[in-house]
Amino acid sequence: MKLYRATLKNPIVFPESIIITSENLDSIDFDKMIYCEISPQGAMGNEGGILMYVLKDENTLITYETNIEIDQQIFNAISDLISKNANLFVNYNGGMGNYVYVKKNAQLEIDEKYNCFWYHSSKTKLRIDSSVNGVFLSVIADMTRQDSKQDNH
């Protein structure tokens, strides 16, 4: 079932979710990654999890996910790849040990009514949900802090 809002003119497309494996690890395009969360062991919320939103095409997102409990080697490999590609992202504090990476120059609309972000593509808006509400709220707070620091310089 697709949701529809008249203001969008197109249905909201919820992302396909793919578990990260050694077979698909190399197919993840970090240049197309819009949002990523890393929650190491001990973090609150999605403990030991990685959640990535990647553009499949200009109007479709895919989520890639893993958890340290599923495959520690893949968790470590993805963490390393994110670190190696850190120059592509703005890092935000997700609170309670969570780390969030948003593609530089990606305009994310904050939607506090639905507790999500919206990424604007050329034809529609693509919904990005944080793994837990606390991460969403912490990222908004950190985005606001970083924006106010830039405004003061």
Render 45-95 in DSSP notation, one character per residue. SSTTEEEEEEEEETTEEEEEEEETTT-HHHHHHHHHHHHHTGGGEEEEEEE
DSSP H or E run through 118 = strand 116-120
Q: How confident is the model at residue 2 (pLDDT cuts 50, 70, 90)?
A: very low
pLDDT for the residue 10: 61
Residue 117: name the closest of 15, 46, 9 by CA. 15
pLDDT for the residue 48: 94
pLDDT digits (tens, 9 = 90+) for 100-150: 999 999 989 999 999 999 998 877 889 999 999 999 999 999 999 988 887
pLDDT for the residue 84: 97
**Separation of alpha carbons 56 and 14, rounded Å:** 12
Q: How confident is the model at residue 5 (pLDDT cuts 50, 70, 90)?
A: very low
pLDDT for the residue 149: 82
Q: Average of pLDDT values for 82-111?
A: 95
pLDDT for the residue 7: 47
**pTM reported for the whole predicted model:** 0.89
Residue 75: CB atoms within 10 Å: 21
pLDDT(3) > 60: no
pLDDT digits (tens, 9 = 90+) for 14-68: 788 999 999 999 999 999 999 999 999 999 989 999 999 999 988 889 999 999 9
pLDDT for the residue 9: 56
**Averaged confidence pLDDT in the chain:** 89
**Separation of alpha carbons 69 and 33, rounded Å:** 23
